[in-house]
Amino acid sequence: MDVIPVLDLKDGVVVHAHMGRRDQYRPIETPLSPTSMPADVARGLLAVHPFKTFYVADLDAIERKGNNNGALARLRDDFPQVALWVDNGVNDLRGARQWLDADLGHLVLGSETQSDNRLVTRCCGDERVILSLDYRGDTFLGPVAIRDNADAWPSKIIVMTLARVGSKSGPDVQRLNTIKSRVPEKQLFAAGGIRDATDLATLAHHGIAGALVATSLHNGTLTGAQIASL
C-alpha cells in the first residue's frame, strides 16, 4: 500500500482542501509545519514518514489563473528523492509534452479538465502519465469517452471523489471495486475521505495499490508507525 501525501497549491502556498470547494480553500495550518510554504509542509510530512511520492494539485493552473511552477521546481530541487505527481490542468498534447520535457514531475491528467479522450489515449503508454478519474458524488467529471474507454487508460489511475476530500467520510470502496473489476491489471489509487490506518487496510484488502492522503496526516489520525506497518 503506497501512501501519497497531497499538496494543494494556490498562490504559492499549500491550502487546505475540503470537499472540492476551491473558492473556500485557505492556507493550511498544520502542526507539521511552521508555515504554509510548500517546502516547509513537505519537510513536515517527510518527518512523519519517508514518503516516495507526493501528489500536487496546482489549483491556479487548473483554473487557468497562472501556475506554481516555481514552487514545483523548488520542491523537485529540495527533495530529489521524492517523485511529484502533478495535476496542472493540461489538456492538450503540446502542453503535455512541454510539461514532461520540463522535468518538473509526472503528469496527472484530470478527467475534469479534459475536453475529449484524445490526450489520454495518446499518453496511455507513457509511464510518467497518471489518469485521474474525477467524480463529484455519482457524477463523472469530464468526457464520458474517458470513463468508458478503459483500454486507453494508463497503468496508474487515481479515483478522485472530490466530495469526500477533507470530509473524514471514508473512501469510496464501492466505486473503487467497480473500477478495479474493469481493469484488474492496473494500479488504482484512492483519493478522498481516507481517515486512518483502518481505511488503508481495507483498501489494501480490496487490491487498491495506494491512497492519496492529507487531513489524516495533519491531524495525526494516521501516523508514521502505522504507515510503516502497511
Sequence spans of domains, the chain: 2-229
pTM given for the model: 0.94
Q: Check whether 191 has a pLDDT greater than 80.
A: yes
Task: State the pLDDT at residue 165.
Answer: 66
Instruction: Using pLDDT thresholds of 50, 70 and 90, give the confidence band for residue 137.
Output: confident
Instruction: Using pLDDT thresholds of 50, 70 and 90, give the confidence band for residue 26.
Output: confident
Q: CA 148, CA 157: separation in Å to the nearest integer?
A: 14
CATH architecture of 2-229: Alpha-Beta Barrel (3.20)
| Residues 6+ positions from 225 with CB-CB distance below 8 Å | none
b/e 138-170 (16+ beta carbons within 10 angstroms → b): eebbbbeebbeeeebbbebbbbbbbbbbbbeee
Instruction: Using pLDDT thresholds of 50, 70 and 90, give the confidence band for residue 163.
Output: low
Instruction: Using pLDDT thresholds of 50, 70 and 90, give the confidence band for residue 21.
Output: low
| Residue 118 three-state SS | helix
Q: Check whether 167 has a pLDDT greater than 60.
A: no
Task: State the pLDDT at residue 164.
Answer: 60
Q: What's the mean pLDDT when you consider all of the chain?
A: 92
Task: State the pLDDT at residue 193.
Answer: 85
Which tops the pLDDT comparison, 171 or 130?
130
DSSP-assigned letters across all residues of 36-59: S-HHHHHHHHHHH---SEEEEEEH
